[in-house]
């Protein structure tokens, strides 16, 4: 499969040919709050949040009675 076939399929499927429009200034304070973080810090922070959520679900599951399948 060469790139001309892939390109033809993209255009036939309605792929955009223009670059996406530039976004306006972000709404809210979320971007300002984390602006000084590196991508790795942001990723680690999200990973910590997910681990805490998983731990909370595990505690909840351990406290509930066992179900039958």
d(CA 8, CA 16): 12
What digits encode the pLDDT tens for the residues 16-28?
Answer: 677 777 777 666 5
- The pLDDT value recorded for residue 12 is 65
What digits encode the pLDDT tens for the residues 10-63?
Answer: 666 666 677 777 777 666 555 555 577 788 888 999 999 999 999 999 998 888
d(CA 43, CA 25): 23
Flag whether pLDDT at 64 surpasses 90. no
Query: What tokens were used for 10?
Result: 């993209």
d(CA 42, CA 50): 12
Entry pTM: 0.40
- The pLDDT value recorded for residue 6 is 65
């Amino acid at each position: 499969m060469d790139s001309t076939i892939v390109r033809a399929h993209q255009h036939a499927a309605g792929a955009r040919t223009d670059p996406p429009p530039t976004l306006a200034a972000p709404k809210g304070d979320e971007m300002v709050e984390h602006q000084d973080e590196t991508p790795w810090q942001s990723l680690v922070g999200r990973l910590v949040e997910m681990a805490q959520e998983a731990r909370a679900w595990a505690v909840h599951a351990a406290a509930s009675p066992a179900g039958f399948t």
